[in-house]
Structure 1
Amino acid sequence: MTHVSLPADLRHAAERAKGFMPSNEGAALFDTAYVYGSLGPICEIGTYCGKSAIYLGAAAREVGSVVFTVDHHRGSEEIQPGWAHHDPTLMDPRFGKMDSLPFFRAAIASAGLEEEVIAIVGRSETVARYWKTPLAMLFIDGGHSEEPVTKDYDGWAPHVMPGGALVFHDIYADPSKGGQAPFRVYQRALASGDFKEISTEGSLRILERVDPAAG
């Protein structure tokens, strides 16, 4: 998508951070943010410990943009105790709850991206209700069950500017490979006619909002 490479120090920082994004998908996320970030701000739904925010922030630095990353940092359903992706080191014993915020802050500080990556700590649907700024790129990677991914799409997709990008993570057409809620919402976005698919990489799906002015 672009000839600009992810800086080696930021690639290493992203690979060291806790998270679930393979390097090839992270590189595609960087490429997409580089292409669209010059049009305006980038927003990520689902921060976790900051791995994908490093890829986005690296691109934002290159093009003079900024990344807002939204998460309540108490963990989505699939990373709670008893689930396959649970990481016990993220438990806060004081409250008996997950808390990924300290890990995020450490990852972003270590990467030197505190100017480019801005954390918004709160529920996605609450923040979306008051959000007014058009987005050049929206990356949806929050909760992966039906209700949260639907709320993320309904609340945030309307803010993607014409010609801007909408990116989904963990899209699996085959139910044996992953949950189907993100796949259904991705299909809904395509069926709306508001978005067209630009490219794919692994489980990433990169869409662009149709610009009526472009004819």
Structure 2
Amino acid sequence: MTETVLVFPAGTPDALKYRSEAAERGHRVVGASSLAWNPEAGRYDSWEYLPYVHDPDFAEALRRLIERLGVTAIYSPHEVVSAHLAEVLPGLSAKVSLISVSPLLAKERAYRALWDRAAEISAAPDWFGGGAPRLAGPRLAGLLRFVDDVPGMSDNDKIAAMIEVARHVPAGDIVEIGSWWGRSAALLALLSRHHDLGPVLCIDPWRADALAQGVAMLDKASAAMNLDDALTIFETNLAPLADGRINYIRATSTVAAERYCPSLTVETEVLGRTVYAGRIALLHIDGNHSLERVTEDVENWTPYMAPGGWVVFDDYVWAFGDGPRMVGDAWCTRHADRIARSFVMGTALFVQLEP
């Protein structure tokens, strides 16, 4: 049976966000407002008028609307309206649930959880000693909030490790192989800004023929993706962080590596102009995870590593194969005499070269 959800007041940004989520779940979504006209009315399956909640006729008007439309749940993004609905709704209908009784307090709780997460990262043992001062408090929480809002697969443990590693990055560029929608790129750009590190260069072809990884389930899902939209989403997420700090080359790892050199200048319409040093302080390998492609990424880009630089093999622990692990292990074995430290955090292998 299809749920009928009433959203009131229905014209606010939070209301429209909930409308989209409910519609995705297949619910019928009815919007209501106390305004005589609302420009958002056309976004809903139907639109209704309700008096203001302090109007003596509000409760009866709401009861009639619930009965006439078969409303099964109500969502209100407004703290005062939601609190009033919590009081009057039990007397109007026992079958109608109120979604998020206190929406603003729920947001406050989310921020407290974010502050707790930031405090936990800041209080972790100093892994390496020395380095730049740690991010902490609202500055760290703000970074986490921004990164959390960018869709992606980077887990919290990997993010915490990246935050710690950024304190110990030498001079040079930050290069990311495989960026997709830009979650980890946003993290790297924010860390570059905070610690005054080198600029971030993202390498991604955003091209269908580069997505195949030899795993039927993954390749089927990849085939359904819109590659041009993926790039536009990346640009949308990273545009506020640009200012010469981040840019991209839309090409395979091999083609982009042929361009990489001292004073490389990359200019794109959305992210502007960025100049790179031509040596790498941090290399994040997160492109195609097939053995052949990861091998190419390592061979193409690790020769540019600066002393004391970091190589991060993403998905070293991967549910769909062992390409990143095999390449990471082989590279560490081959360069054992150059490695200062290595560890696995989350699903990524972090390796630092000797200074």
Where on the TM-score scale, by shorter chain, does this alignment land: which range? Answer: 0.7 to 0.9
Q: Which residue of 2 aligns with 1:41?
A: 173
Deviation at 1:78, TM superposition (A): 5.0
Q: Does 2:163 align with 1:163? A: no
1:23 Cα offset (Å): 2.0
Separation in 1 of the partners of 2:175 and 2:205? 15
Unaligned residue ranges in structure 1 (runs of 5+):
92-96
Q: Quote the Cα distance in structure 2 between the aligned partners of 1:124 and 1:136.
A: 17
Matches of 2:215 and 2:237 in 1, distance apart? Answer: 21
Question: CA 1:126/1:4 → structure 2, altered by over 3 Å: closer, same or farther?
Answer: same
Conserved 8 A contact 2:163-2:191: yes
Match of 1:146 among 268, 291, 312: 291
| Counterpart position of 1:63 | 195
Which of 113, 117, 126 is matched with 2:246 structurally? 117
| Residues 128 and 79 (structure 1), Cα distance of their counterparts in 2 relative to 1, 3 Å cut | same
Alpha-carbon distance between aligned partners in 1 of 2:221 and 2:163, rounded to the nearest angstrom: 26
- RMSD over aligned CA atoms reads 2.6
TM-score by length of 2: 0.51
Cα distance in 1 for residues equivalent to 2:257 and 2:313: 17
Measure, in 2, the Cα distance between the counterparts of 1:178 and 1:82.
Answer: 9
Q: Deviations over 1:143-190 (max 9, x none)?
A: 001111110000001111111111111012xx7x34101001101111
**2:221 pairs with 1:86:** yes
What percent of counterpart residues are identical? 25
In structure 2, C-alpha distance between the alignment counterparts of 1:17 and 1:89, rounded to whole Å: 20
Match of 2:148 among 2, 6, 15: 15
Asked if the contact 1:139/1:166 (under 8 Å) is kept, the reply is: yes
* 1:14-58 C-alpha deviation (Å, 9 max, x unpaired): 21222111122122123223420x522111111110000011111
User: How many residues are treated as equivalent by the alignment?
Assistant: 200
How far apart, CA to CA, are the structure 1 residues paired with 2:235 and 2:259?
24
The higher relative CO (CA closer than 8 Å, separation ≥ 6) is in 1
Could you say which residue in structure 2 is the equivalent of 1:181? 323
For 1:106, the equivalent position in structure 2 comes to 236
Task: Provide closer, same or farther for how the CA distance between residues 82 and 206 of structure 1 changes in structure 2, counting only shifts above 3 A.
Answer: closer
Which structure has the greater CA radius of gyration? 2
1:49 counterpart letter in structure 2: W
Q: 1:26–1:88: structure 2 CA closer, same or farther, 3 Å change rule?
A: farther
TM-score normalised to the size of structure 1?
Answer: 0.82
Q: CA deviation at 1:139?
A: 0.7
